[in-house]
Amino acid sequence: MSNDSFALSAGYLKKLVPLMMKYQVPANPKNYALWYTYIANTDEALTKAMNESLQSSGSVSLEQCTELYEAHIADGQNEGIQAAQEGFEALALEISNTMVDTMKDTDVFQSTLEKTFSQLARVDEEAMSTEETIAVVRNALKGSKEIRQSTSFFKNQLADAQKEIDRLKETLAEANEQAFNDALTGILNRRSFDKHLDKLIASPPERGFCLLICDLDHFKSFNDTYGHLMGDQVLKLTAKRLAQFCREGIEAFRYGGEEFALLVPNRPLGGGGRVAETIRASIDKLAIKDKKTGSKLDNITVSIGVAQFEKGESPRNLISRADAQLYEAKNLGRNRVMPIT
């Protein structure tokens, strides 16, 4: 990042927090990214929408913030991360500049001291008058006061910067989590899946790995019968159960909708199939109750397709083979794992 970009980031950072406080906007990663983009004026449509809201109602409601984020920022979820990183860089530049100024003041004070000592040495040699001696001492005291003010300002700025750094670190951590975790279930999302899969293919474990793609059976019918809130509850419980299998390098992801994926390292096809069968049986035992009626709902089942990575194949091909096995499991009656190993 250039010095100009640093200066811009520092300026945005100084405007961002006071503006969000003025309009009582919660400082979460989504709002941080939204208002940072607004201040930076990098999205004309967003700037226009924000200005219209501010002019008409004098504020931007939380609902509007969410809608504007989804419309203008959501496709680039790394905006919050980038904004926080630029904030760190801007703070570093500002502190560095202040340090340079303080060092210059120190050099000036050192020069003043050396000149003062040289002048005081003439007291005995040249019989300086009392008035002349007092003038020399006053000059030294003036320089001492100025350097104290300079170092005090630097100390205060460091303290303020530390507070801002702590806040930015928290924002960055939240933004990172948001970028790679599914908002509903809390497990890793599709973006994270793509990243992990690429990494495994680039450097496969010694014993290879398997991809498991899981799909909840009859989920659309379940949603139609019991409603989306109960459907969301099923997704959360399924994700929680999958997370229990995340050991020995296994990672679980929400792949999309009612589909989940697991990457199982150091397992051949048979080993991956056994993991899948254990997961299937575990989910089949999930018991869901309707809180309104207290009645037990239909059992939740899942179909799973398994594919073992073949050296040199692409992510797309591996996913396609696992999908084919998943469709076969569905065609054979659901609540099963394919291929049978």
- pLDDT recorded at residue 1: 44
Least confident window among 99-103, 183-187, 188-192: 99-103
Look at the block and give the residue holding tokens 């050099």: 107
pTM of the entire predicted model:
0.54
Q: Which residue has the higher pLDDT, 73 or 263?
A: 263
Binned at pLDDT 50, 70 and 90, residue 308 comes out as very high
Query: Which helix (H) or strand (E) is 263 found in, with range?
Result: strand 259-265
Least confident window among 193-197, 218-222, 289-293: 289-293
- pLDDT recorded at residue 2: 46
Has 44 been annotated as catalytic?
no
- For residue 125, the SS3 value is helix
- Rounded mean pLDDT of 59-84? 69
- pLDDT recorded at residue 3: 47
pLDDT tens digit string along 33-42? 788 888 888 7
- Superfamily grouping for domain 190-338: Reverse transcriptase/Diguanylate cyclase domain (3.30.70.270)
Catalytic residue among 79, 86, 174, 258: 258
Binned at pLDDT 50, 70 and 90, residue 13 comes out as low
Look at the block and give the residue holding tokens 């983009």: 37
As a whole number of angstroms, the distance between CA 176 and CA 84 comes to: 10
Percent of the chain with pLDDT over 70: 62
Return the half-sphere exposure (C-beta side, CA atoms, 13 A cut-off) of residue 275.
34
As a whole number of angstroms, the distance between CA 201 and CA 195 comes to: 10
Name the segment(s) of the chain with CATH classification 3.30.70.270.
190-338
- Closest C-alpha to 215, from 247, 244, 256: 256
As a whole number of angstroms, the distance between CA 310 and CA 205 comes to: 12
- For residue 191, the SS3 value is helix
- pLDDT recorded at residue 245: 94
What's the token pair of residue 40? 């930076």
Q: Which residue has the higher pLDDT, 58 or 157?
A: 58
Above 70 in pLDDT, residue 58? Answer: yes
- pLDDT recorded at residue 40: 82
Average pLDDT, rounded, for the chain: 78
Above 70 in pLDDT, residue 164? Answer: no
- pLDDT recorded at residue 307: 97
